[in-house]
Amino acid sequence: MRKRDSLQAVGACALLSSTVFALWQVPMKTYITTPIYYVNGAPHIGHAHTSVMADILKRNRIAIGYEGKLTTGCDEHGQKNQEAAAESGLSVEEYLDGRSAEFRNVFDRLSVEYDYFVRTSCPEHKQRVAEIEQRMYDADLIVKKEYSGTYCTGCEQFKKPSDLNDDGRCPDHPTLVPEEITEENYFLKIEPFRDALLKHIADHPDFVQPEIYKTELLKMLSEPLEDLCISRPKRRVSLGVTMPFDDDYVTYVWFDALINYITNINWPEDEYKAWWAECEHLIGKDILKTHGVYWPIMLMAIDMAPPKRLSVHGHWVGAGGLKMSKTMGNVVDPIEVMDNLGSDALRYYLARNARADADSQISVELITQAYNSELGNKLGNLLSRAGKFAKSRFDGKVPERGSGAVDDADEQLRKQVMEACAPFAKKLDLAEIPYATQGLITVCDHMNNYFADQAPWDLIKNEDTKERCAAVIYVTLDCLRLVFEAFSQVLPTTSAQALGLLNCTVPTGGDEAWVPGLDKLQAGGDLAEISTLYPRAA
Ligand code: ME8
């Protein structure tokens, strides 16, 4: 290589390494949102679900080095909230304060680490909603006209005849009689954006996940879109954001609620841009149309890009596939489950059993069964047995693994544990959560089999197998350490307790990205008093 070429190469390398260094210095961002929930009733298992899944994704991404933001909260406007407040006998403010505190309490108890708890009644949000409406109005995208339609208060949406059951009721709210409404309202023209949205979906194959919901969305976009009604006359609904160009109207609740996703990150100030570029909405399948059709079009109407990803999940139904309802007596109350079994029991069941592309069954009995037989028998019990063995036979310390004491059984188990933890060391997708969680519990079976096969209680009896006994205990405890490190994304409370017993800490992530590794348990380290992580429940 000539001198000049070699200098150029050195320069290129320096530039490359400084770019890599710069990239390395700026952590990747992840902005995860949940729907904001209606406050016309108490928080239920479905609300708990989406917020817990969002928390698992946030913990996962922070563990592997991302900078993360998670928002959840309450949708406090609209007709059904207004009706619930009136029925409560409280003032609207008292009602909203009380209900949103209930939601916040459930998410706090579930260890959902949200960065921002949304309440659409907050003045900053309302001001931004009005600002966006004004922009659309000034751009001639909003028209006023009379409209007659069938309205479902449950969905807070006008319905086409084809959206309703044969009996004229909404499939998602069969107990409500839809209202026939004729009134003058403001409408957003959305058809002019349909082609651009279709192109966006074609250009971004990951926009909607999993695939079945993309198919559903494309079907929704296969026909011309009717103008979207974005107002309600105040004489019918007063709980909402007053329209900036007409005092007699409030903004349609969905139009107002969707905008939370950008007001939370301080739109239109510059700082919002980097977060918005990485925005992933977690939603149930019931709200695909509002998030997959209306929301991207609203954004395009103000020259903004659609969110990066819509991650959609199926619904929880009662045991036997029955819809949960008070009359059926099969409603699962998140507070009651947490009171009896702890928050990780609920998080575990949700993470392990939810399917993204299908409905899944839940009941107090199913949660209790999974808690006892999986968390208790497979995970907690092994920690207790191996930990207590080390406490009594190795002076309360983690034994030395000893030289030359590694055999094929150890290596096979260690490999299986590394493989089971691997999904948690990369960016997890919503749909992968149940499989990754199941992988960890399956590897607990392997750990239990290893422990039983190696029989440390026999090995300890003999002087010449004592070293092998120490190795078996070390391998078991070290594998448990690693499994709890991975599980800390799903079971933050009990994983922290378990790692504390082993004298280890939960991976912090951020600057120190978590990399699963073996032999990180300190031999000779003190073990804390081994308490029962998952006491048996009746
Ligand atoms: O739709 N299984 O609020 P919402 C799983 N305010 N998840 C469920 C569920 C179930 N059985 N039931 C509800 C609204 N969910 C609007 C949202 S966002 C800008 C406005 C979860 O109280 C799931 O995430 O009806 C679903 O999409 C959401 O709660 C609906 O909550």
Residue 284 CA to ligand 1 centre (angstroms): 6
Q: What percent of the chain has pLDDT over 90?
A: 86
pLDDT, mean of residues 476-505: 97
Q: Is 152 a catalytic residue?
A: yes
- Do the domain assignments include residue 478? yes
Over residues 411-428, the pLDDT tens digits come to 999 999 999 999 999 999
Specify if 430 maps to a domain: yes
Is 39 a member of any domain? Answer: no
- pLDDT given for residue 14 in this prediction: 46
Contacts of residue 356, Cβ cutoff 8 Å, sequence gap at least 6: 209, 210, 311, 312, 313, 314, 430, 431
Q: Is 47 a catalytic residue?
A: yes
312-321 pLDDT, tens digit per residue, is: 999 999 999 9
Residues 440-450 pLDDT 10s: 999 999 999 99
Which residue bears the tokens 């609207």? Answer: 92
**Residue 157 amino acid letter:** Q
Q: Quick check: is 428 in a domain? A: yes
Q: Is residue 486 part of a domain?
A: yes
Rounded distance, CA 208 to CA 92, Å? 37
Q: Which residue has the higher pLDDT, 526 or 404?
A: 526
Any catalytic annotation for residue 421?
A: no
Q: Is 47 near ligand 1, meaning CB less than 6 Å away?
A: yes
Residue 184 has pLDDT above 60, yes or no: yes
Q: What is the mean pLDDT of residues 44-68?
A: 97
Q: Is residue 483 part of a domain?
A: yes
* Cβ 68 under 6 angstroms from ligand 1: no
Q: How far apart are CA 301 and CA 142, in angstroms?
A: 10
Ligand 1 centroid–CA 285 distance in Å is 9
Assess whether 29 carries a catalytic annotation. Answer: no
CATH code at position 465: 1.10.730.10
Does 370 fall in a domain?
yes
Average pLDDT value over all residues in the chain = 93
Condensed to tens digits (0 to 9), the pLDDT of residues 298-332 reads: 999 999 999 999 999 999 999 999 888 777 788 89
pTM: 0.93
Q: How confident is the model at residue 9 (pLDDT cuts 50, 70, 90)?
A: very low
Short-list 107, 99, 21, 42, CA closest to 72: 107
Q: Is residue 438 part of a domain?
A: yes
Range 46-66 average pLDDT: 97
Burial of residue 20 (CB within 10 Å: 0-12, 13-18, 19+) is exposed
Which residue range(s) make up the domain with 376? 363-501
Q: Does 80 sit in the ligand 1 pocket, CB within 6 Å?
A: no
pLDDT, tens digit (0-9, with 9 covering 90-100), for 106-130: 999 999 999 999 999 999 999 999 9
How much is the pLDDT for 407?
87
3-class DSSP assignment, residue 157? strand
Report the domain count for the chain: 1
